Structure 1
Amino acid sequence: MTLSSEKNSPRPISSNSIPQEAFDWYDEYAHGDIDRRTFLSRLGTLSVTGLTLSVVAGALTPNYALAEQVSFNDPEISASYVEFDTPNGHGKGRGYLVIPKNVNADNKAPTVLVAHENRGLNPYIEDVARRLAKAGFIAFAPDALFPLGGYPGNDDAGREMQKTLDGSKIEGDFMDAATLLKNHEFSTGKVGMVGFCYGGYLTNTLAAAMPDTIQAGAPYYGTPAKGNIDKIKAALQIHFAELDQRVNDTWPDYEKALKANNVNYTAYVYPKTNHGFHNDSTARYDEKNAELAWQRTISFFEQNLRA
């Protein structure tokens, strides 16, 4: 992959400088288990030599100026925002479509649906879509917040907005997006899916709900589908962060169900990583493991979508 030029902003402080409790509390905050005041109050009880409360809080909060590995101006891709009908969801959706420049009706490509976290289509997820296009896939990243005006530009507001939406309709929006990809004029008809956090849950869910559409799913630190696991036909490549106890606690029962239903799956646990380790805009980012996970994901899609 050819990456964009050097980023304009410095990386967040090293994760090694931040106590594990801070990551755990941020995870609780990011998933709505505690409010911002409680999160900051807890951070204030930590004694971290040389680091202020604002520095630690800032390091844990995404800085999306860092989240561009592939420029939207990259000459090898074409990116645009596309509206589409979602009869199974909110009625109308919008997403970020990225197509390799060499792909057309005479040179078709497999597709990958990209599912964001619980806060809407942020710049990090858009960059993930561009990375997939650089690897030769048509990528589409819908914004669950489109019915409310779209991602608002910051994660706190995005989380609050997404909590007000009907989860089943969000799932319907993404299902209709998967159908759009399968039927796209430049598509080979093969559809994969990758998602992060809530998007990992969506990846598991669509694999179970759309067995004749989703052929390969790569959920990152996502909880299991709530039903229809026996219907899954897709190959799954499942990525976990070792320190992500909330999600990891769901794995034994999910693995048991996958085995019982003869689902083709591989699961990886990345040592000493936190939930969100693939997101390169915060101190949770673990470059070595994020790159390894992504290389595995691209190879997985190559194997399951190009054959």
Structure 2
Amino acid sequence: MEIKDAEWLSKTKNDGECMTRRTVLTTAMTTGFALAVQPVAAETILTDTKGLKAGMITFKGADGVEVPAYYAVPTKLVAGKKAPVVLVVQEIFGVHEHIKDVCRRFAKKGYFAIAPELYVRQGSVSDKPMVEIFPVVSQVPDSQVMTDLDAALAYAQSTGSADASRVAITGFCWGGRIVWLYAAHNAKLKAGVAWYGRLVGQSNPLQPKSPTELADKVKAPVLGLYGAKDAGIKIESIEGMRAALKAAGKTKCEIVVYPDSEHGFHADYRPSYNEKDAKDGFAKLLAWFKKNGA
């Protein structure tokens, strides 16, 4: 379900009983979230599309496969100007409502935001419980993700609204790891912000290198945002990444660790959400993009 403006919901009635706007809004949004993340928290943020062009599109990947993506861009741009691009990389749950909302948040800030469905060849995970998601995601090659992000960028440029010389990337959880990899892949990238992305892992043919192993190949300034209470990403791995970046002379990269946050602290639809740290992280992200020309 694509929710464009939910103000009208404030007086909606259900079975003859007046519901609160928040209750109705949460119920309406649930259909846009992946099955594995439900129930959705009542505090979930909803960004409207006023002043934006937004929706689903498709573009061709390098192998000719049609890749779906959600995009959002301001309706009106400054005369003679194009919007800088931000590639938004999904959590493990795919491009569900939260990722679409993040795209709209960026568009409200003047960006052309695009979030491609990076598992399209392996299958949708939107209707799967968590235990069934891992087998799908494990079959996604890093090389495929890199070329699909390149193709998403090319699509954005083809619209005439995007400035492909000002490109940034951000991603969450599964997508946080991808941010580090893409920064090692695309020399034209201006900046990246990785939210609690895995930094180490066992090598295999589809995912041959971890971010720590690719630290010396990182071509753009990356800001890592992590939680000290993240049960899946140990402080030791964060310190290992810091050491690898330092050894490689990547002095423009930084990692911030929030002492009170868990994994997923930006995800406002989940119990792990930490409003204070999420807002601080997003402010740091915007400043990071601006500082580095994106």
Query: Structures share a fold, TM > 0.5?
Result: yes
Q: Give 1:205 deviation, angstroms.
A: 0.5
SS at match of 1:83: strand
CA contact (8 A) 2:125 2:133 kept: no
Instruction: For 1:1-307, list aligned pairs within 5 A.
Output: 8-9=22-23, 61=38, 63=40, 67-71=44-48, 74-87=49-62, 91-103=65-77, 106-147=80-121, 150-153=124-127, 156=130, 159-160=133-134, 162-163=136-137, 165-168=139-142, 169-181=144-156, 184-189=159-164, 190-212=166-188, 214-224=189-199, 225=211, 227-248=213-234, 249-263=236-250, 264-306=252-294
- Give the whole-Å Cα distance in 1 for the aligned partners of 2:266 and 2:130: 20
Deviation at 1:157, TM superposition (A): 7.5
CA distance in 1, matches of 2:178, 2:60: 19
Amino acid at match of 2:241: Y
Shift of the 272–97 alpha-carbon distance from structure 1 to 2, 3 Å rule, reads same
Aligned partners of 1:175 and 1:206 also within 8 Å: no
Shift in CA distance, 152/105, structure 1 to aligned 2, threshold 3 Å: farther
Superposition deviation, residue 66 in structure 1: 5.0
Give me the whole-angstrom Cα distance separating, in 1, the residues matched to 2:60 and 2:54.
Answer: 19
In structure 2, how many angstroms separate the alpha carbons of the residues matched to 1:95 and 1:107? 24
Checking the alignment, whether the CA contact within 8 Å between 1:85 and 1:91 is kept in structure 2 is yes
Distance (Å, rounded) in 1 between the aligned partners of 2:141 and 2:116: 14
Q: Give the total of aligned pairs.
A: 254
Contact 1:109 1:138 (8 Å CA) reproduced: yes
Partners in 2 of 1:122 and 1:146 — Cα distance?
13
Q: Which moved more, 1:297-306 or 1:125-134?
A: 297-306
Kindly provide the CA deviation profile for residues 260-293 of structure 1, in whole angstroms up to 9, marking residues without a partner as x: 2222112211121110010001111111111111
- Root-mean-square deviation over aligned CA pairs: 3.0
Identity of aligned residues (%): 25
**Does the C-alpha gap of structure 1 residues 277 and 188 become closer, same or farther in structure 2, counting only changes over 3 Å?**
same
Give me the whole-angstrom Cα distance separating, in 2, the residues matched to 1:10 and 1:281: 15
Could you say what secondary structure the match of 1:305 adopts?
coil
Kept in 2, the 8 Å contact 1:118–1:162? The answer is no
Larger proportion of helix: 1
**Alpha carbons of structure 1 residues 231 and 138: separation in structure 2 relative to 1, 3 Å:** same
Paired letter, 1:170: V
- Alpha carbons 1:119, 1:158 under 8 Å: kept: no
Deviation at 1:124, TM superposition (A): 0.6
Unpaired runs of 5+ in structure 2? Answer: 11-20, 27-35, 200-210
Give yes or no for contact 2:170–2:194 (8 Å, CA) kept in 1.
Answer: yes
Q: Secondary structure at the match of 1:78?
A: strand
Structure 1 residues 258 and 187: CA distance shift in structure 2, 3 A: same
SS of the counterpart of 1:118?
coil
C-alpha distance in 2, partners of 1:122/1:294?
19
Report deviation, 1:207. 0.3
TM-score, scaled relative to structure 1: 0.73
Give the counterpart letter for 2:114 in structure 1: F
Structure 2 CA distance for partners of 1:155 and 1:193, relative to 1, 3 Å: farther
Give me the whole-angstrom Cα distance separating, in 2, the residues matched to 1:240 and 1:111.
24
On the 8 A contact 2:122/2:140 being kept in 1, the answer is no
Deviation at 1:160, TM superposition (A): 4.5
Alpha-carbon distance in structure 2 between the residues aligned to 1:64 and 1:121: 18
Inter-partner Cα distance in structure 2 for 1:262 and 1:11: 48
Closer/same/farther in 2, CA of residues 154 and 255 from structure 1, 3 Å limit: same
Q: Which moved more, 1:193-202 or 1:247-256?
A: 247-256
Post-superposition Cα deviations, 1:176-220, rounded to whole Å, max 9, x if no partner, equal 3234345652222211001000100010100011122x2100000
Larger deviation, residues 61-70 vs 122-131: 61-70
CA spacing shift, 1:120–1:144, aligned 2, 3 Å: same
Whether the aligned pair in 1 keeps the contact of 2:123 and 2:136 (CA below 8 Å) is no
